[in-house]
Amino acid sequence: MGGAKNCPETPRQKMIGMMYLVLTAMLALNVSTDILNGFVMVDDSLYSSITSTEDRNANMYSVFEQQKNDKPEKYAVPYEEAMEMKQKSDSLFNYIAKFKRDMAVIAIGEEKVSEHNYTTGYAVRGLQGTSNLDVTGQYGIVQGHGEELRIRIEEYRDFLLSVLAKNNNPMDQQEVRKMTEQFKMLFTCDSLYNNHEGKMDTWVNGMFDGMVLNATITVLSKMQNDIRATEGQMIQYLMGNADAMDLRVNKLQAYVIPKSDYVMRGAKYQAQIILAAIDSTQRPEFYIGNERINDQGLYEVVATGSGERKYSGKIGVLSNTGEMDYLPFESSYTVGEPTATISNLDMNIMYRGFENKFSVSVPGVSNDKVSVSATGASVSRSGGNWVIKPGESAKEVVLTVSANMDGKNQVMGTNKYKVKALPKPSSFFVAGGESINQGFISKKLLTSNEAYVEASYGPDGILDLPWKITGFDIVIGNDAKHSDNGRLTDEQKTLIKKLPSGAQVTLQTIRAVGPDGKTQQLSPIALRLK
């Protein structure tokens, strides 16, 4: 709908309108500092996980190279495959690093990015205050980099699957099937739920449309972590595959394969402790510290505190001399604080008596395991969103997000919201495709069958809510005629048609009912016939 084109705005009105637009933008981008800091903390934890994984991978490459030099006829081919895999892993890893850095440059500028000295290879660490909602869509969707990333991820996944298929052997069918399904899950680019659009969408739109920059950077860091973890898993597979048909070995190396290098407080950390190659007639002994654990080498511990957790142990195996040899190992995992992402799809405040729509998610937890409770409001679920309706007397609502972690409900985050009554809309007379609330209008438009009175927040309003006109009066001189809805009655039209040009027509006592069920009396509309 157009504005009041027939009545030019005064300089003061223009100034007020500009201030209103600035406030609107500030409200729309008012992402909680606590949430942004949560993403920074998770990203830093992922960085620690990546660096420790890279150290383990470097050690395994060194061992693999030594095996290739000692027995080239046995290890040369799988070693070359490992080098090709390393090149492809580095290529995708570095492209994601550049992806994150380019978005940061768009958000805060090259000078600030360089000034913060973000680590090369990881691109953006500890980026503060990046609540920008436009950069990810601009870079990932508009500029097309998101589609390129999708293609690169799928190419990397297909390469991994081809290596598994080529090196598959009859003794390792079950492990290959597990790794195949794992890689398909980690590097999938299927349709995602687009919180910004409120529907299923392409992977690119679901990843980048309307996403906070800090959140996108953290998700991309998680991808980098998956790449390094997968790279380590494939090194172990290629080394073990070369020895798969050997009945005995003369060189053993202990490795730790964690289910995840990142775990939330209260959740379980799991790691598989294995030998790269073993004698199939033996059953190794596994120790954490000096305490022996189960014969499968499965290490489980409830995560406590936060930050990096290191542990070490040894694997005992019977040597050819009949004595027990012990091979030491060490590893680490990162414990992160619980985090939750909460965003109000309508505004960053709640309106009393109104169904405010919220999108709530917890990183790493499926939506069906996430729950929301509130003080001072009712909570219900509608599709993929949560509907929060504050009580009539509520002045503040506290939302609490919980997640089911290993069968236990755990609080992931809370947030407070101020509660206000729905603001009063403005009244407009709509005719001939224009909306006006003062100025000149032709008698033909004023009395047309398509003309009506409406209540809205105008073209620059921060809300788009349905208001229903329940009545108004037309006043001409001392005469007033009443309508029980938003359209002129025949009696009102007849009265207007008798008026001369220049006559004043005032629509007053305009009443409207909002979505909260409350009636408001709106400002009058002053019109003059052409």
Residue 443: pLDDT band with limits 50, 70, 90: confident
**In contact, 427 and 524? CB cutoff 8 Å:** yes
Question: Cα 47 to the chain's mean position, in Å?
Answer: 19
Beta bridge partners of 325: 317
Q: Give pLDDT, residue 23.
A: 38
Residue 104: pLDDT band with limits 50, 70, 90: confident
Strands 291-292 and 298-302: unpaired
Q: Is the pLDDT of residue 183 over 80?
A: yes
Q: Give pLDDT, residue 194.
A: 59
All residues at 6 or more sequence positions from 51 whose CB lies less than 8 Å from its CB, including other chains: none
Q: Which of 278-282, 400-404, 459-463 shows the lowest per-residue confidence on average (mean pLDDT)?
A: 278-282
Q: Is the pLDDT of residue 343 over 80?
A: no
Q: What are phi and psi of 203, to 5 degrees?
A: -60, -40
- 36/366: higher pLDDT: 366
Give the mean pLDDT of the chain.
79
Q: Which of 146-150, 309-313, 357-361, 461-465 shows the lowest per-residue confidence on average (mean pLDDT)?
A: 461-465
Q: Give pLDDT, residue 207.
A: 85
Per-residue pLDDT averaged across 13-24, rounded?
A: 44
Residue 213: pLDDT band with limits 50, 70, 90: confident
Q: Give pLDDT, residue 17.
A: 44
Q: Is the pLDDT of residue 28 over 50?
A: no
Q: Which of 124-133, 185-194, 322-331, 488-497 shows the lowest per-residue confidence on average (mean pLDDT)?
A: 124-133
Q: Give pLDDT, residue 155.
A: 94
Q: Is the pLDDT of residue 55 over 80?
A: yes
Residue 59: pLDDT band with limits 50, 70, 90: very high
Per-residue pLDDT averaged across 133-162, rounded?
A: 91
All residues at 6 or more sequence positions from 170 whose CB lies less than 8 Å from its CB, including other chains: none
Burial of residue 142, with CB atoms counted within 10 A of its CB: 0-12 exposed, 13-18 middle, 19 or more buried: exposed
Q: Is the pLDDT of residue 117 over 60?
A: no
Residue 247: pLDDT band with limits 50, 70, 90: very low
- 316/248: higher pLDDT: 316
Per-residue pLDDT averaged across 233-243, rounded?
A: 84
Q: Which of 28-32, 133-137, 418-422 shows the lowest per-residue confidence on average (mean pLDDT)?
A: 28-32
Helix axes 33-70, 72-108, angle to 10 degrees: 160
**Which contacts of 165-169 are long-range, i.e. CB under 8 A and separated by 24 or more positions?**
167/78, 167/81, 167/237, 167/238, 167/241, 169/241, 169/244, 169/245
Q: Which of 87-91, 185-189, 462-466 shows the lowest per-residue confidence on average (mean pLDDT)?
A: 462-466
Q: Give pLDDT, residue 145.
A: 94
Q: Is the pLDDT of residue 170 over 70?
A: no
Per-residue pLDDT averaged across 456-472, rounded?
A: 82
Q: Give pLDDT, residue 263.
A: 64
d(CA 262, CA 222): 9
**In contact, 203 and 190? CB cutoff 8 Å:** yes
What's the half-sphere exposure (Cβ side, CA atoms, 13 Å) at 465?
Answer: 23
Q: Which of 118-122, 225-229, 339-343 has the highest mean pLDDT?
A: 225-229
Count of C-beta atoms within a 10 Å radius of residue 499: 15
Count of C-beta atoms within a 10 Å radius of residue 162: 10
Count of C-beta atoms within a 10 Å radius of residue 25: 11
Q: Which of 137-146, 215-224, 364-373, 509-518 shows the lowest per-residue confidence on average (mean pLDDT)?
A: 364-373
Residue 312: pLDDT band with limits 50, 70, 90: very high
Q: Give pLDDT, residue 327.
A: 86
Radius of gyration of the chain (CA): 33
All residues at 6 or more sequence positions from 333 whose CB lies less than 8 Å from its CB, including other chains: 49, 258, 260, 261, 262, 263, 269, 271, 303, 308, 309
Q: Give pLDDT, residue 363.
A: 72
Per-residue pLDDT averaged across 492-520, rounded?
A: 88
Percentage of the chain with pLDDT > 70?
A: 76
